[in-house]
């Protein structure tokens, strides 16, 4: 029987770890078992008991110290090291191959999804081990209050979806911090965008509107979920 998993992704601080813990607690309340795996080698304190933890293999802190890399380079090194030690990963997954459900709490650095193929390789490897993998991409709801941030956040989500080629769900996080009407209708209206850009150069304003319309058409294809 196949196991299932979610790759929980999104920029640092959007609430990935909180999402994983909340989903696990919810599942426990409805008597379903969900395991969380920490795949973030830069994580500090975890709010859950992980099924296993990439930091048992490697941590960003050690890499930065030993190889004198910065935080971004260190994180990329860690994820590539995980791929090179894929047998370790497989061993850790061994107890969860019979119809289990896992949440992978992923690192937030965008380079891992847009610049280098490492996260795609990890998901492909999970699929080869007969996991049914879904991408869950968190977007901070407060980021959507400004049209320019909406465009930026949406393009990041889109890029992630295109790169990983997974069934993909966008989740709005931190809805308690956003205005109610934003949560009910997450995309800003075209008129609010025109208003925002009216002080800018006409050409730039038009470009924003084209990008906006493009994103709206993409969101007709994507499912946008508020939580």
Ligand X SMILES: Nc1nc2c(ncn2[C@@H]2O[C@H](COP(=O)(O)OP(=O)(O)O)[C@@H](O)[C@H]2O)c(=O)[nH]1
Find the shortest distance in angstroms from Cβ 136 to ligand X.
12
Residue nearest to ligand X (CB): 15
Place of tokens 């191959």: 97
> Binding ligand X by CB under 6 A: which of 4, 18, 51, 83?
18
Burial class (CB in 10 A: 0-12, 13-18, 19+), 201: exposed
Of residues 108 and 188, the one with the C-beta less far from ligand X: 108
> Binding ligand X by CB under 6 A: which of 41, 108, 147, 188?
108
Find the shortest distance in angstroms from Cβ 178 to ligand X.
9
> Binding ligand X by CB under 6 A: which of 17, 59, 109, 170?
17
From the list ligand X, Mg ion, none, partner contacted by residue 177 (C-beta under 5 to 8 A by kind): ligand X
From the list Mg ion, ligand X, none, partner contacted by residue 176 (C-beta under 5 to 8 A by kind): ligand X
Q: Exposed e or buried b for every residue in 50-66, given b needs 16+ CB within 10 A?
A: bbbbbbeebbbeebbee
Beta-carbon contacts of 141 under 8 Å, excluding residues fewer than 6 positions away, are 172, 173, 174, 175, 177, 178, 182, 183, 186, 226
59 binds Mg ion (CB under 5 A): no
Find the shortest distance in angstroms from Cβ 82 to Mg ion.
16
Q: Which of 119, 164, 185, 138 is nearest to 20 (CA)?
A: 138
Q: Exposed e or buried b for every residue in 154-192, given b needs 16+ CB within 10 A?
A: bebbbebbebbebebbbbbbbbeebeeebbeebbbeeee
How many amino acids of this chain bind ligand X (CB under 6 A)?
12
17 binds Mg ion (CB under 5 A): yes
Residue 34, both tokens: 């969900």
Find the shortest distance in angstroms from Cβ 6 to ligand X.
14
170 binds ligand X (CB under 6 A): no
- Judged by the rule CB under 6 A, the positions of this chain that interact with ligand X are 12-18, 108, 173-174, 176-177
């Amino acid at each position: 029987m196949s196991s299932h998993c979610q790759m929980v992704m999104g920029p640092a601080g959007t609430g990935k770890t909180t999402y994983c813990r909340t989903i696990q607690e919810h599942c426990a309340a409805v008597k379903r078992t969900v395991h969380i795996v920490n795949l973030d080698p830069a994580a500090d304190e975890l709010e859950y008991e992980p099924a296993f933890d990439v930091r048992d293999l490697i941590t960003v802190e050690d890499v930065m110290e030993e190889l004198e890399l910065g935080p971004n380079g260190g994180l990329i090194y860690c994820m590539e090291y995980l791929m090179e030690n894929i047998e370790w990963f497989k061993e850790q997954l061994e107890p969860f191959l019979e119809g289990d459900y896992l949440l992978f709490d992923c690192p937030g650095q965008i380079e891992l999804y847009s610049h280098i193929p490492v996260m795609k390789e990890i998901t492909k490897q999970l699929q080869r081990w007969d996991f049914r993998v879904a991408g869950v991409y968190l977007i901070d709801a407060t980021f959507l209050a400004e049209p320019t941030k909406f465009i930026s956040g949406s393009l990041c989500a889109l890029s992630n979806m295109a790169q990983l080629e997974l069934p993909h769900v966008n989740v709005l996080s931190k809805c308690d911090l956003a205005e109610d009407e934003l949560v009910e209708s997450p995309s800003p209206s075209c008129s609010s965008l025109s208003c925002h850009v009216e002080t800018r150069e006409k050409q730039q304003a038009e470009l924003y509107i084209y990008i906006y319309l493009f994103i709206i058409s993409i969101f007709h294809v994507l499912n946008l979920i508020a939580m």
